[in-house]
């Protein structure tokens, strides 16, 4: 194998254009060069040079220089910016993917493992395909220097290159890299055939060049007669493509007459078709050998006219016709349009714009390609890429899950019993909530208990603990296996908890009656709640519906608190007041009603109307003492939020308040006040939080998420 030439930083900088932006890029790249080790950093220099040849941006080239540097993400971010640090981190994650599969040993080098690795590479690159450019450049350099490795390692890397990296380069349209990667892998995997073909090509080199020169001269003359000018050059096939054609046609090398061809580059698309007409008049076209990739581009954006003719010597000759822009894309693929300086920005055709928008779809379609058998092909095609994530067990096994899957789904995918006993999860070495959405490349470790079963909250779709049908089915099966009496008891406990948490005054029997159309017996309703068929979310939504339409008044007494909570702020609310038009209104601090709850107004002296729940104890008193000052109210249709105070009981720890604030931020809920009470002897502290919520159902969702915060014991509405 030929030793790669020595690359310097000046060679890399030579590919950057002149201008202000280029000056900044040169400074970035020189700093990255020094940080990576300067001239001694042979591999990073070659990787960066390959990226510069593709005219990629300075951040990508800098990441190529730094991808093996011994530095933390924080150091890279501080010295080179977030973009470079993120790219280097992405390359490191891809390297980790490689190592995990390789650690499985030779027995894992089967088609399934290779295809899984290929899936992960693509999945991790969809959001920022530049990471794959860096990884491909790194692999190309390693393949060029493969001779320094043991033969077994050479074959492993060559097989990976043929199965994963060359198809990636092909899908991204980087023909130059794809051809070289295929030839380098072929030389290792089939050295006898490679050597034979290389000798045959070398033996015909002079005759082949003379033939190309004759045909180029004839075509130039014919184009000039039509007033056309363009660049014409010979285009020899690479060795692996010749080998594939020999296999496909089942013929020896002596019958491969199109091992070379012509490439014609003209200025415009109409001229491409004019050249095609000239070539077909000059030489006889071969039937069935014409492809119009200009009108019908390939999925990776490739455009060109392909034809084959019978040349002057009676042998076939392939001809490709394209514009400079099409040729640039054919050589560099996605990278051709990924980044340009403003000083060199050229007019981009509508077709190019369409190509850029379809590039993401093209990457997805790579998952649909395989050359290793129809069964695997059908398996890969059955996957919808956008709907999958690929994560790892602690031992490096790849687990395929739907997008949005959580550690709970992961646990049930591993084993039903692990799912049932799941109590927590570590993702990439960090303790993570069970509702965390797994990302491609995550390493997941499930923390299990010795006994116990799943939580009914896992079946609550709004909380999103279990996304996969498998996990939800296994959870329901577990609850169905419990005795009827136990499920009734569990159901009763769940309903009581929901009512208490939201401060709702209903009996369990009344709530059961809300579901009487489906569950004629109250015990049947409680069993349904106990096994998770009726979730807490459905109960709250049904109660909210009833509160909107019920006319009868209901009494409610506030729950006693060991510590008196701080008074909540008063706010104006948007309501319709029957018979009086718009009035100044305020939500009463004693009961703080929410939309969906039955309300009534109390006309104050000089402060407008105060809105109370109909069941508020103060209203029950005022009905006896000042009934003339009570008026009927209904919630208005305008969007509004209302203050609701909740109390969170939790074991005190660092960052507890930060975690509570994060949940609120993620839910889009504002906190108008947050105060704490006295910590008791068990280190439990009450936290009084006033939230701005639009509805009862939203409050229910927020309280459930707060419950999942580590160290939280209980959370409920104070009144």
Look up tokens 């393949």; give the residue.
143
Domain spans of the chain, in order of start: 9-189, 200-346, 385-480, 484-549, 642-717
442 Cβ neighbours under 8 A, 6+ residues apart:
389, 391, 392, 427, 428
Per-residue pLDDT tens digits for 117-173: 555 555 555 456 788 889 899 999 999 999 888 998 899 889 888 877 887 787 677
The pLDDT score that the predictor gives to residue 565 is 53
Q: How confident is the model at residue 441 (pLDDT cuts 50, 70, 90)?
A: confident
Q: Tell me the three state secondary structure of residue 400.
A: strand
The pLDDT score that the predictor gives to residue 567 is 52
CATH of domain 200-346: 3.30.460.10
The pLDDT score that the predictor gives to residue 492 is 84
Please state, in angstroms and rounded to a whole number, the distance separating the CA atoms of residues 415 and 434.
16
Q: Please state the rounded mean pLDDT for residues 535-550.
A: 72
Q: Is 208 exposed, middle or buried (0-12, 13-18, 19+ CB in 10 A)?
A: middle
CA distances from 705 to 42, 260, 688 (A): 51, 66, 16
Look up the CATH superfamily of 385-480.
Beta-grasp domain (3.10.20.30)
What percentage of the chain has pLDDT greater than the value 90? 13
Q: Please state the rounded mean pLDDT for residues 560-569.
A: 47
The pLDDT score that the predictor gives to residue 2 is 52
The pLDDT score that the predictor gives to residue 276 is 92
Please state, in angstroms and rounded to a whole number, the distance separating the CA atoms of residues 210 and 380.
46
pLDDT surpassing 90 at residue 264 = yes
How, if at all, do strands 630-635 and 670-676 pair? unpaired
The pLDDT score that the predictor gives to residue 9 is 87
Q: Greater confidence, 637 or 251?
A: 251
The pLDDT score that the predictor gives to residue 122 is 55
Q: Which CATH architecture has domain 642-717?
A: 2-Layer Sandwich (3.30)
The pLDDT score that the predictor gives to residue 406 is 92
Written as one string, the DSSP assignment of 233-268 is: EE-PPPHHHHHHHHHHHT--GGG-TTSSEEEEE-SS
Per-residue pLDDT tens digits for 322-374: 998 888 777 776 555 443 332 233 333 444 344 444 444 444 443 343 333 33
Please state, in angstroms and rounded to a whole number, the distance separating the CA atoms of residues 639 and 546.
20
The pLDDT score that the predictor gives to residue 399 is 82
Rounded to 5 degrees, φ, ψ at 424 are -175, 180
Please state, in angstroms and rounded to a whole number, the distance separating the CA atoms of residues 693 and 595.
10
The pTM (predicted TM-score) of the whole model is: 0.49
Hey, which residues does 717 pair with through a beta bridge?
646
Per-residue pLDDT tens digits for 297-318: 776 677 899 998 888 888 888 8
Hey, which residues does 688 pair with through a beta bridge?
647, 675
Q: Greater confidence, 660 or 558?
A: 660
Q: How confident is the model at residue 283 (pLDDT cuts 50, 70, 90)?
A: very high
DSSP 8-state code for residue 659: H
The pLDDT score that the predictor gives to residue 335 is 54
Q: Matching CATH topology for 9-189 and 642-717?
A: no
CA distances from 331 to 54, 212, 264, 458, 528 (A): 9, 21, 14, 51, 62
Please state, in angstroms and rounded to a whole number, the distance separating the CA atoms of residues 215 and 312.
8
pLDDT surpassing 60 at residue 571 = no
Q: Number of helices (H) and strands (E), helices first, in the chain?
A: 28, 20
The pLDDT score that the predictor gives to residue 278 is 92
Per-residue pLDDT tens digits for 20-67: 456 788 889 999 988 888 767 788 999 999 988 887 888 889 999 998
| 524 touches 491 (CB < 8 A) | no
pLDDT surpassing 80 at residue 675 = yes
The pLDDT score that the predictor gives to residue 393 is 86
9-189 has CATH 1.10.3210.10 classification: yes
Alpha-helical (H) ranges within 457-532 are 469-480, 484-502, 508-514, 522-531
């Amino acid at each position: 194998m030929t030793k790669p030439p020595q690359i310097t930083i000046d060679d890399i900088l030579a590919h950057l254009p002149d201008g202000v932006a280029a000056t900044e890029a040169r400074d970035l790249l020189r700093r990255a060069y020094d940080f990576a080790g300067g001239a001694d950093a042979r591999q990073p220099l070659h990787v960066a040079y390959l990226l510069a040849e593709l005219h990629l941006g300075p951040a990508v080239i800098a990441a190529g220089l730094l991808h093996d540097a011994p530095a933390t993400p924080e150091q890279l971010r501080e010295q080179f910016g977030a973009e470079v640090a993120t790219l280097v981190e992405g390359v490191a994650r891809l390297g980790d993917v490689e190592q995990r599969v390789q650690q499985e040993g030779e027995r894992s080098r089967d088609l399934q493992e290779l295809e899984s690795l290929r899936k992960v590479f693509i999945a991790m690159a969809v959001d920022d395909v530049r990471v794959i450019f860096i990884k491909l450049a790194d692999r190309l350099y390693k393949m060029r220097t493969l001779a320094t490795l043991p033969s077994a390692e050479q074959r492993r890397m060559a097989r990976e290159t043929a199965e994963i990296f060359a198809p990636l380069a092909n899908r991204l349209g980087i023909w130059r890299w794809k051809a070289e990667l295929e030839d380098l892998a072929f030389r290792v995997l089939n050295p006898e055939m490679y050597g034979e073909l290389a000798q045959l090509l070398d033996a015909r080199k002079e005759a082949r060049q003379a033939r190309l020169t004759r045909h180029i001269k004839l075509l130039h003359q014919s184009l000039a007669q039509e007033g056309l000018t363009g660049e014409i050059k010979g285009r020899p096939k690479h060795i692996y493509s010749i080998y594939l054609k020999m296999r496909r046609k089942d013929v020896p090398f002596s019958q491969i007459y199109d091992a070379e061809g012509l490439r014609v580059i003209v200025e415009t698309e109409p001229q491409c078709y004019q050249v095609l007409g000239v070539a077909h008049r000059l030489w006889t076209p071969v039937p069935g050998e014409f492809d119009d990739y200009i009108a019908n581009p390939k999925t990776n954006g490739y455009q060109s006219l392909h034809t084959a003719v019978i040349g002057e010597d009676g042998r076939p000759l392939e001809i490709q016709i394209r514009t400079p822009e099409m040729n640039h894309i054919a050589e560099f693929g996605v990278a051709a349009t990924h980044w340009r300086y403003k000083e060199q920005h050229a007019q981009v055709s509508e077709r190019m714009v369409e190509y850029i928008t379809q590039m993401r779809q093209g990457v997805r379609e790579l998952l649909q390609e395989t050359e290793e058998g129809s069964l695997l092909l059908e398996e890969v095609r059955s996957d919808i890429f956008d709907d999958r994530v690929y994560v790892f067990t602690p031992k490096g096994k790849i687990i395929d899950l739907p997008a949005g899957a959580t550690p709970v789904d992961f646990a049930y995918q591993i084993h039903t019993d692990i799912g049932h006993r799941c109590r927590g999860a570590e993702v990439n070495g960090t303790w993570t909530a069970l509702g965390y959405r797994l990302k491609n490349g995550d390493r997941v470790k499930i923390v299990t208990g010795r006994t116990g079963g799943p939580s009914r909250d896992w079946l609550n779709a709004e909380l999103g603990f279990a996304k996969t049908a498998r996990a939800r089915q296994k959870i329901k099966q577990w609850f169905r296996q419990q005795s009827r009496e136990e499920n009734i008891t569990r159901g009763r406990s769940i309903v009581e908890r929901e009512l208490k948490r939201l401060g709702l005054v209903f009996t369990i029997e009344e709530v059961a009656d809300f579901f009487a159309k489906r569950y004629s017996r109250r015990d049947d309703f409680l069993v349904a709640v106990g096994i998770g068929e009726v979730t807490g979310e459905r109960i709250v939504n049904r109660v909210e519906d009833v509160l909107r339409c019920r006319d009868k008044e209901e009494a409610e007494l506030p729950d006693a608190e060991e510590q008196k909570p701080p008074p909540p702020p008063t706010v104006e609310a948007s309501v319709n007041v029957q018979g009086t038009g718009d009035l100044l209104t305020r939500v009463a601090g004693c009961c703080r009603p929410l939309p969906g709850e039955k309300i009534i107004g109390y006309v104050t002296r000089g402060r407008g109307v105060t809105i109370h729940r109909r069941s508020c104890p103060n209203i029950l008193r005022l009905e006896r003492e000042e009934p003339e000052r009570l008026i009927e109210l209904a919630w208005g249709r305008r969007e509004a939020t209302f203050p609701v105070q909740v109390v969170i009981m939790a074991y005190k720890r660092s960052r507890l308040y930060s975690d509570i604030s994060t949940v609120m931020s993620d839910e889009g809920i504002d906190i108008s006040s947050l105060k704490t009470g006295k910590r008791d002897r068990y280190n439990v502290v009450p936290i009084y939080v006033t939230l701005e919520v639009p509805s009862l159902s939203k409050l229910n969702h927020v309280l459930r998420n707060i419950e999942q915060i580590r160290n939280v014991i209980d959370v409920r509405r104070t009144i």
